């Protein structure tokens, strides 16, 4: 497939650029008036329209992208899209002034989703998650990470992970699975934290490993959820099975969660709405990625992460949706990128790099996705006609994604 007359080919990074830190994040190479050749599902070549070789100009099929931009697909490295039911009853509570913590204490929150999960069948979960994932793909997402964490029993966590495995097999995009059994303490373990941790370590982890159901381990390391020590215990046990951490850190308070992740060589520490200078400095010196989820801040009215502080301290920053029924009922990465510009004060170039290449890095697939680079998978989208690259985040709440191409094929899902 040949795409011609592209107004701007976005994110033309060199092969050896696998993530961008600090000041590098503002560098989003753009090739104007370009062509792009896709072969066998991969990006074969690209160049300027005025110098297109005659033998390439004849290749069929051809798509004219006149006036349009071509982006590498969004790489959404943090989601919880397998859930049994939405929680819009909490929406009204939130509007009436209840905080995320108050709603959880009143019987809402993660435990509410966990109750609904127990009776859901694998087929029902798969059908519902497929609709969500299909919507996300149509909005430009071309790689995704999905967490368990609404099971909170051995069987229900396995059920969620098996659904994620089916999504992996069914959808034409990379899907990474994360075990998040340490999302909340089930009511019966409220006074017996060690009992639940032992269950995760001694019963769940061996079965997850035996069925090869997870790529990563996660924990909600937060006051009232999993303490730093409890999180460390789980991360250390998971490391024995080769599961690297990607953890929920510093969402509601700054009590050292990000440092626990860094100390355990986390691929990423995610949320970071509550950071102090030590966190910014620690991430600046680390290869652990700081993944920011501005749609979550937007929806539950918590502070927006200090993206500028992270960038100034030379950290690697990624952006993801956090799509889940409680804190972020949206998986629209276009809106995430807009919010990153509007609320995190990121430049469009910084936000786009964070949602593509660095998002891919936060799933350890940036050698294959996240930029327009020869040899990478041809997961891209073509925009509607746009005046400039910044028009995409500027026109918040509207998708500029017109054509989605995955593995070199137009996606009609």
Per rule CB under 6 A, is residue 156 in the interface with ligand NIG? no
Of residues 173-202, which lie at the interface with ligand NIG (CB under 6 A)?
none
Enumerate the β-bridge partners of residue 63. 3
326 binds, among Fe ion, ligand NIG, none (CB under 5 to 8 A by kind): ligand NIG
**Quick one: which segment of 38-46, 169-177, 322-330, 365-373 binds ligand NIG (CB under 6 A)?**
322-330
3-state SS, residue 315: coil
Return the residue nearest Fe ion (CB atom). Answer: 322
Provide the minimum distance between the beta carbon of 68 and Fe ion in the complex, in angstroms, as a whole number. 33
Of residues 4-43, which lie at the interface with ligand NIG (CB under 6 A)?
none
**Quick one: which segment of 172-180, 201-209, 321-329, 336-344 binds Fe ion (CB under 5 A)?**
321-329
Binding mask of the shown chain, residues 107 to 146, with x at each position contacting ligand NIG by CB under 6 A: --xx--x---------------------------------
Provide the minimum distance between the beta carbon of 275 and Fe ion in the complex, in angstroms, as a whole number. 16
Give the burial class of 251: count Cβ atoms within 10 A of its Cβ; 0-12 exposed, 13-18 middle, 19 or more buried.
buried
Among 322, 340, 369, 373, binds Fe ion (CB under 5 A): 322
Q: How many CA atoms lie within 13 A of 53 on its CB side?
A: 8
Q: Please indicate if the annotation marks 248 as binding a ligand.
A: yes
- Asked if residues 337 and 10 have their Cβ atoms less than 8 Å apart, the reply is no
Give the burial class of 220: count Cβ atoms within 10 A of its Cβ; 0-12 exposed, 13-18 middle, 19 or more buried.
buried
Enumerate the β-bridge partners of residue 381. 71, 404
For residue 322, give the nearest of 341, 302, 346, 342 by alpha carbon.
Answer: 302
Provide the minimum distance between the beta carbon of 328 and ligand NIG in the complex, in angstroms, as a whole number. 6
Provide the minimum distance between the beta carbon of 147 and Fe ion in the complex, in angstroms, as a whole number. 7
For residue 216, give the nearest of 259, 260, 249, 181 by alpha carbon.
Answer: 181
Q: For residue 172, which phi and psi values (nearest 5 degrees)?
A: -85, 35
Return the residue nearest ligand NIG (CB atom). Answer: 326
Give the burial class of 333: count Cβ atoms within 10 A of its Cβ; 0-12 exposed, 13-18 middle, 19 or more buried.
buried
CA dist list (Å): 394 to 77, 305, 340: 23, 20, 11
Q: Which residue has the tokens 């590498």?
A: 72
Q: Please indicate if the annotation marks 384 as binding a ligand.
A: no
Per rule CB under 5 A, is residue 76 in the interface with Fe ion? no
Provide the minimum distance between the beta carbon of 179 and Fe ion in the complex, in angstroms, as a whole number. 13
Residue 77 or 338 with smaller CB distance to Fe ion: 77
44 binds, among ligand NIG, Fe ion, none (CB under 5 to 8 A by kind): none
Task: Give the 3-state secondary structure percentages of the chain, helix then strand then coil, rounded to 5.
Answer: 40, 25, 40
261 binds, among ligand NIG, Fe ion, none (CB under 5 to 8 A by kind): none
- Strands 380-385 and 68-72 turn out to be antiparallel
CA dist list (Å): 406 to 73, 171, 184, 204, 378: 9, 10, 36, 34, 6
Residue 291 or 350 with smaller CB distance to ligand NIG: 291
Of residues 290-309, which lie at the interface with ligand NIG (CB under 6 A)?
296
Provide the minimum distance between the beta carbon of 408 and ligand NIG in the complex, in angstroms, as a whole number. 33
- Residues annotated within the binding site for 4-imidazolone-5-propanoate are 87, 150, 183, 251, 327
- Residues annotated within the binding site for Zn(2+) are 78, 80, 248, 322
**Where on the chain is the footprint of ligand NIG (CB under 6 A)?**
109-110, 113, 220, 248, 251, 296, 322, 324-327
**Where on the chain is the footprint of Fe ion (CB under 5 A)?**
322
- Residues annotated within the binding site for Fe(3+) are 78, 80, 248, 322
């Amino acid at each position: 497939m040949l795409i011609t007359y592209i107004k701007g080919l976005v994110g033309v990074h060199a092969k050896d650029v696998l993530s961008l830190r600090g000041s590098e994040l503002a560098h989003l190479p753009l090739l104007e008036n370009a062509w792009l050749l896709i072969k066998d599902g991969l990006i074969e070549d690209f160049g300027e329209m005025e110098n297109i070789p005659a033998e390439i100009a004849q290749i069929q099929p051809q798509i004219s992208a006149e006036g349009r931009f071509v982006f590498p697909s969004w790489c959404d490295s943090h989601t919880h899209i397998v859930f049994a039911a939405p929680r819009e009853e909490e929406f009204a509570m939130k509007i009436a002034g209840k905080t995320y913590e108050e709603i959880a204490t009143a019987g809402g929150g993660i435990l509410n989703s966990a109750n609904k999960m127990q009776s859901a069948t694998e087929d029902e979960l798969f059908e519902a998650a497929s609709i969500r994932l299909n919507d996300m793909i149509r909005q430009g997402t071309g790689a995704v990470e999905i967490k368990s964490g609404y099971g909170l029993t051995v069987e229900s966590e396995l059920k969620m992970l098996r659904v994620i495995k089916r999504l992996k097999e069914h959808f034409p995009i990379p899907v990474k699975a994360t075990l998040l059994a340490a999302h909340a303490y089930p009511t019966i373990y409220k006074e017996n934290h060690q009992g639940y941790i032992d269950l995760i370590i001694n019963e769940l982890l061996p079965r997850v490993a035996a069925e090869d159901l997870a790529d990563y381990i996660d924990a909600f390391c937060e006051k009232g959820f999993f303490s730093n020590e409890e999180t460390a215990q789980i991360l250390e046990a998971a490391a024995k099975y080769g599961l690297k951490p990607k953890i929920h850190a510093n969402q509601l308070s700054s009590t050292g969660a990000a440092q626990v992740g860094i100390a355990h060589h986390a691929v990423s520490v995610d949320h970071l709405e509550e950071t102090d200078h030590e966190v910014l400095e620690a991430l600046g010196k680390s290869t652990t990625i700081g993944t920011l989820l501005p749609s979550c801040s937007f929806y539950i009215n918590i502070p927006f992460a200090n993206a500028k502080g992270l960038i100034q301290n030379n950290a690697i920053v990624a952006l993801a949706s956090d799509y889940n029924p409680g804190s972020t009922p949206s998986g629209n990465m276009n809106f995430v990128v807009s919010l990153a510009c509007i609320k995190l004060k990121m430049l469009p170039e910084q936000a786009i790099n964070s949602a593509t290449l660095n998002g891919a890095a936060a799933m350890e697939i940036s050698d294959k996705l996240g930029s327009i680079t020869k040899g990478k998978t041809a997961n891209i989208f073509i925009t509607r006609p746009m005046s400039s690259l910044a028009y995409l985040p500027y026109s918040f709440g509207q998708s500029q994604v017109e054509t989605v191409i995955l593995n070199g094929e137009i996606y009609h899902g």
